[in-house]
């Protein structure tokens, strides 16, 4: 295992430790043409500067007590050094532009460059949310057009555009539901939200955050919501149910219409987690299934980039019953062009408030609309069909060496395996995933959904060609055969070829070190 050095960074593997002897050790920690790269603070650039500035004319006397006396502790690098540092770091970061990114439930698809080009048009990228609306008519029209297509694709009458991610959209949807129960005077008695056991963690977290008690709904042996259990838990104390469709086992909820009917009969609302919309876009309209609110992760279905918790957009479509409670702002068109409804008066008198300071993620709106328009309705339908086809191809080609969690029948956009096939090998799902890194593949989603033991959830998306899928399948088949042949060493301490080997993920999550502090003797007396 890697050891921690004084600055909290695992050291490069020592050349002679037996556990990294697997195949090709290197003396430096470098791999092929990829060099090991220290933190920018670990170099010796403290006395250098990348720029040559004239001495300031003022002695700073007019700053009084505010004159800086101590160095601020920034490393000094020349331009080529700075370039290399960041380019090397970027090479250690896996990206969808490098290879298939099979994370289930995440829909990591190719981000078309046309989207990027559109988002960089100055009329979209250089505007400010406080500009007078008369100067941003084109941007408002774009938001209105995107809203129109989101409503059309989902068969829903309203959409709140401002939420910044799927989880933020869940919050928006449940706040609209709470506002609706408040308006009908039922809020105090409807305190529960029902969530299936296979749900994404954000569902119960959101319900709890809004103040509801979360009640779990059981799952059937074939991976779907147990309708009888749901029916027994529905009553006049339930505010909403949260169901993902297709669900996190990669399966379509066959009883979805019955689920919606039972929910409405009990006076509750149906929140659908729309993270898996990619599997049905262009083919199924959630409005037709009886959904009252659903977020759409633009970074999943509509190919906008996934940011590290960063620049997302999770618009929420709303049914007739919930539409009046939608948060401000929204765009409307009248004879004079487009305007923003900002205040809780007139048509927005029942709006529950706002989700964020301004209007949502403009850059993502441009990318998503660009994606929709370049695909057209036939193209979007094909997205769903190809995503499902690709997942079924993976499921079919791996089911003889790995164990499918739900072997009967086809899956939707994700192929789900459990760890039954690893029984008796001493190798775990985690070991297997880490060994994939050595083969040049990012691991799939592991141990989710929780209802499947040692889950491995693979979502290829429609943007992978058959050749790429075959390459991936081939790597997994070879690894599976090695696992069954007892090559435990290949797995136990993998990855062997990643720059930092296997990390202590528990420690990283439980006691993250978020600040770098200079080790003893490190000279930071920078200029």
Ligand X SMILES: *Cc1c(COP(=O)(O)O)cnc(C)c1O
Member of 198, 244, 301, 463 binding ligand X (CB under 6 A): 244
List 29, 45, 166, 329, residue binding ligand X (CB under 6 A): 166
Q: By CB neighbour count within 10 A (0-12 exposed, 13-18 middle, 19+ buried), where does 136 fall?
A: buried
Which among 244, 290, 230 has a CA at the least distance from the CA of 105? 244
Applying CB under 6 A, among 167, 328, 446, 494 the residue interacting with ligand X is 167
Q: Which residue has the tokens 């963690």?
A: 201
Nearer to ligand X, 157 or 311 (CB): 311
Binding-site string for ligand X from residue 285 to residue 314, where x marks contact by CB under 6 A and - marks none = ------------x--------------x-x
- 195 interacts with ligand X by CB under 6 A: no
- Asked whether position 493 contacts ligand X by CB under 6 A, the answer is no
- Least CB distance to ligand X at residue 132 (A): 32
List of residues 6+ apart from 307 with CB closer than 8 A: 299
- Judged by CB under 6 A, which of 200, 395, 434, 490 binds ligand X? 200
Q: What share of the chain is helix, strand, coil (3-state, %, to 5)?
A: 40, 10, 50
Burial of 199 (0-12, 13-18, 19+ CB in 10 A): buried
Residue 22: name the closest of 34, 32, 13, 11 by CA. 13
Q: Does 360 sit near ligand X (CB under 6 A)? A: no
Nearer to ligand X, 12 or 416 (CB): 416
Q: Give the footprint of ligand X on residues 67-96 (CB under 6 A).
A: none
- Complex with ligand X: residue 412 or 479, whichever CB lies closer: 412
Mark 416-445 with x for binding to ligand X (rule: CB under 6 A) and - for no binding.
Answer: ------------------------------
Q: Which span sits near ligand X by CB under 6 A: 37-45, 69-77, 83-91, 163-171?
A: 163-171
102 binds ligand X (CB under 6 A): no
Burial 406-429 (b: 16+ CB within 10 A, else e): beeeebbbbbbbbbebbeebebbb
Q: Which residue in the set 37, 273, 431, 464 belongs to the binding site for ligand X (CB under 6 A)?
A: 273
CA-to-CA distance for 146 and 150, rounded, in angstroms?
6
What is the secondary structure of 452-498 as a DSSP string? STT-EEE---TTS-HHHHHHHHHHHHHHHHHHHTT-HHHHHT--SSS
Residue 109 to residue 461: CA distance in whole angstroms:
6
The two tokens of residue 42 are: 């670990």
Rounded to the nearest whole angstrom, what is the least distance from the CB of residue 135 to ligand X in the complex?
31
Smallest separation (angstroms) from ligand X to the CB of 122? 28
Task: Check binding of 108 to ligand X (CB under 6 A).
Answer: no
Rounded CA-CA distance 163/356 in Å is 7
Q: Which is nearer to ligand X, 173 or 499 (CB)?
A: 173
Q: Are 453 and 419 in contact (CB under 8 A)?
A: yes
Among 136, 165, 207, 482, binds ligand X (CB under 6 A): 165
Q: Which residues sit at the interface with ligand X, rule CB under 6 A?
A: 105-106, 165-167, 200, 202, 244, 248, 273, 275, 297, 312, 314
């Amino acid at each position: 295992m890697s050891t921690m050095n004084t600055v909290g960074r695992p050291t490069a593997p020592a050349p002679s430790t037996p556990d990294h002897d697997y195949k090709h050790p290197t003396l430096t920690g470098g791999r092929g043409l990829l060099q090991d790269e220290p933190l920018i603070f670990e170099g010796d650039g403290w006395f250098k500067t990348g720029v040559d500035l004239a001495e300031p004319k003022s002695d700073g006397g007019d700053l009084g007590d505010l004159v800086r006396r101590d160095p601020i502790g920034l490393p000094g690098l020349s331009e080529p050094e700075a370039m290399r540092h960041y380019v090397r770091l970027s090479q250690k970061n896996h990206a969808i532009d490098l290879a298939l990114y099979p994370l289930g439930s995440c829909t990591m698809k190719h981000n078309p460059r046309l989207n990027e080009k559109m988002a960089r048009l100055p009329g979209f990228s250089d505007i400010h949310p406080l500009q007078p609306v008369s100067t941003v008519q084109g941007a408002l029209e774009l938001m209105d057009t995107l809203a129109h297509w989101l409503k059309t694709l989902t068969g829903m009458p309203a959409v709140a555009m401002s939420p910044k991610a799927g989880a933020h959209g869940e919050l928006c949807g449940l706040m609209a539901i709470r506002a609706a129960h408040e308006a009908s005077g039922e809020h105090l008695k409807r305190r529960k939200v029902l969530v299936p056991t296979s749900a994404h963690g954000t569902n119960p977290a959101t319900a709890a955050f809004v103040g509801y008690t979360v009640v779990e709904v059981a799952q059937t042996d074939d991976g779907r919501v147990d309708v009888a259990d749901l029916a027994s838990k529905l009553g006049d104390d339930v505010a909403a149910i949260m169901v993902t469709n297709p669900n996190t086992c990669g399966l379509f909820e066959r009883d979805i219409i019955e689920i919606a009917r039972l929910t409405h009969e009990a006076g509750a609302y149906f929140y659908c987690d729309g993270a898996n919309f990619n599997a049905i876009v262009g083919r199924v309209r959630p409005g037709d299934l009886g959904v009252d609110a659903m977020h759409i992760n633009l970074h999943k279905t509509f190919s906008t980039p996934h940011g590290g918790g960063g620049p997302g957009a999770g618009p929420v479509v709303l049914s007739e019953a919930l539409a009046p409670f939608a948060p401000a702002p929204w765009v409307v068109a009248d004879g004079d062009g487009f305007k923003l409804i900002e205040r809780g008066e007139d048509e927005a008198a029942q709006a529950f408030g706002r989700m964020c300071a301004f209007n949502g993620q403009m850059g993502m709106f441009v990318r998503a609309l660009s994606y929709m328009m370049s695909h057209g309705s036939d193209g979007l339908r094909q997205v769903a069909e190809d995503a499902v086809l690709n997942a079924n191809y993976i499921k079919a080609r791996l089911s003889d060496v790995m164990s499918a969690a739900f072997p009967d029948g086809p899956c939707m956009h994700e192929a789900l395996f459990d760890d039954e096939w690893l029984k008796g090998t001493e190798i775990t799902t985690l070991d297997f995933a880490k060994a994939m890194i050595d083969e040049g593949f990012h691991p799939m989603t592991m141990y989710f959904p929780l209802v499947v033991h040692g889950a491995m959830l693979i979502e290829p998306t429609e943007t992978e060609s058959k050749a790429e899928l075959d390459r991936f399948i081939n790597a997994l088949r070879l690894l599976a055969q090695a696992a069954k042949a007892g090559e435990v060493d290949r797995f136990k301490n993998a990855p062997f070829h990643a720059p930092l080997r296997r990390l202590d993920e528990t420690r990283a999550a439980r006691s993250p070190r978020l600040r770098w502090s200079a080790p003893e003797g490190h000279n930071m007396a920078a200029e």
